Structure 1
Amino acid sequence: MPFEIERKFLVANDEWKHEVSRAVRLRDGLIAIRGGRKVRVRIAGDAATLTVKGPRKGIARSEFEYEIPLADAEAMMAEHCRLPGQMVEKTRHFIPNGQLVWEVDVYQGLLSGLTTAEIELPDSGTSFQRPDWLGDEITGDALFSTRILLRQAMARRWSGLFWPAVRRLNLWRRRARPLSRGRATARRS
């Protein structure tokens, strides 16, 4: 069974930018997330993949990834990822680190402002050099799971739209007075 073994970190500063060897824009459509499992369709440049990830066990998790036609990926995203919070957009920057590669993700869209770095390891005991631009480790931290991050971003977005509307409605209700037929009308000042 194929496994993904990775460590994930926040990025502390922009010093990583001068080390980038290449970058690619990614669009991830989250088809299903439940119980630590994830089914994702990804478009990376002109390539596309369908990925099924199992629940995390330490720093490892099962991962099955299959190349699919770009047109199929676009169709899956259009059909299954239409709701806000089901799409993740980011630019992935690759930074060589000996035999390993750091992947620094700069998020756009709902998660704009978030920058993370991850390194995929051949086994859980592999050591690696920690660059100075690396921040706190978030490997396995549920608060930094895609599902939770998107939920928080959607809550911020909706509260920005919802609460001002509620305040306007409450203000209108305070100014309204009932009519004899049960309808409300605005009071004249």
Structure 2
Amino acid sequence: MSKEIERKFLIVNTSFKKEAIKSYKIAQGFLSTVPERTVRIRIQDNQGFITIKGIGNKTGTTRFEWEKEIDINEANSLLAICEPSIIEKIRYIIPTNNQLFFEVDEFLGLNNGLIIAEIELPSEDADFNKPYWLGKEVTGKASYYNSMLTKKPFTKW
């Protein structure tokens, strides 16, 4: 169990792909999307995960997070009973020059056209380099949460 400290940004162009050291496809759904306890099922490549997140602090940067790897067959079974609208995306891993990583999600399907970069930080006031492809910050804006994108997809905004 730990706290997740994360900031989110929109992307201004796709040049981030040239800096990626790895990419993989993700499918995820939610067993619960109530803000106090979102329960997510994720399949990433050939691995399954269950994640529980608590409600964020006032700025939206910090919240409780618990994650556990589960059997891929269990993950597929749980994904089948998730709330409507499974999210599909390609995640790109991009290193920074201070040993942090951006995770850039290029959404597919009903969220096609949305690209969000996230960076997990060691503290809320941690400094990090902002690459030229990073745009407007959307940390704490609920409409950009994956759990909300299942209810109101980007293509319907």
Using the size of structure 1 for normalisation, the TM-score is 0.76
Residues 1:100 and 1:108: Cα distance change in structure 2 (over 3 Å): same
How much does 1:82 deviate?
6.4
How much does 1:120 deviate?
0.5
Asked whether the equivalents of residues 88 and 108 of structure 2 are also in contact (C-alpha less than 8 Å), the reply is: yes
How much does 1:30 deviate?
1.0
Greater percentage in helix: 1
- 1:107 is matched with which residue? 107
- 2:96 is matched with which residue? 97
- 1:75 is matched with which residue? 77
How much does 1:19 deviate?
0.4
Identity across the alignment (%): 38
Asked whether the equivalents of residues 110 and 155 of structure 2 are also in contact (C-alpha less than 8 Å), the reply is: no
Counterpart amino acid of residue 67 in structure 1:
E
How much does 1:109 deviate?
1.3
How much does 1:154 deviate?
8.7
Counterpart amino acid of residue 64 in structure 1:
W
For 1:20 and 1:154, the matched residues in 2 are separated by: 24
Residues 1:25 and 1:115: Cα distance change in structure 2 (over 3 Å): same
Give CA deviations for 1:11-50 in whole Å, capped at 9, x if unaligned: 0111211101000111111111013531001111011110
For 1:55 and 1:82, the matched residues in 2 are separated by: 19
Q: How does 1:9-158 map to 2 (within 5 A)?
A: 9-57=9-57, 58=59, 59-78=61-80, 80-81=81-82, 83=84, 85=85, 87-98=86-97, 99-153=99-153, 156=156
**What is the number of residues matched between the two proteins?**
154
Moved beyond 6 Å, runs of 4+: none
For 1:36 and 1:105, the matched residues in 2 are separated by: 24
Asked whether the equivalents of residues 10 and 115 of structure 2 are also in contact (C-alpha less than 8 Å), the reply is: yes
Q: Which of these two proteins has the greater Rg computed from alpha carbons?
A: 1
Higher relative contact order (CA 8 A, sep 6+): 2
How much does 1:155 deviate?
8.9
Using the size of structure 2 for normalisation, the TM-score is 0.91
Counterpart amino acid of residue 73 in structure 2:
A
Residues 1:43 and 1:145: Cα distance change in structure 2 (over 3 Å): same
Residues 1:155 and 1:135: Cα distance change in structure 2 (over 3 Å): closer
Residues 1:32 and 1:131: Cα distance change in structure 2 (over 3 Å): same
Asked whether the equivalents of residues 32 and 83 of structure 2 are also in contact (C-alpha less than 8 Å), the reply is: no
User: Which 5+ residue runs of structure 2 have no aligned equivalent?
Assistant: none
For 1:81 and 1:72, the matched residues in 2 are separated by: 13
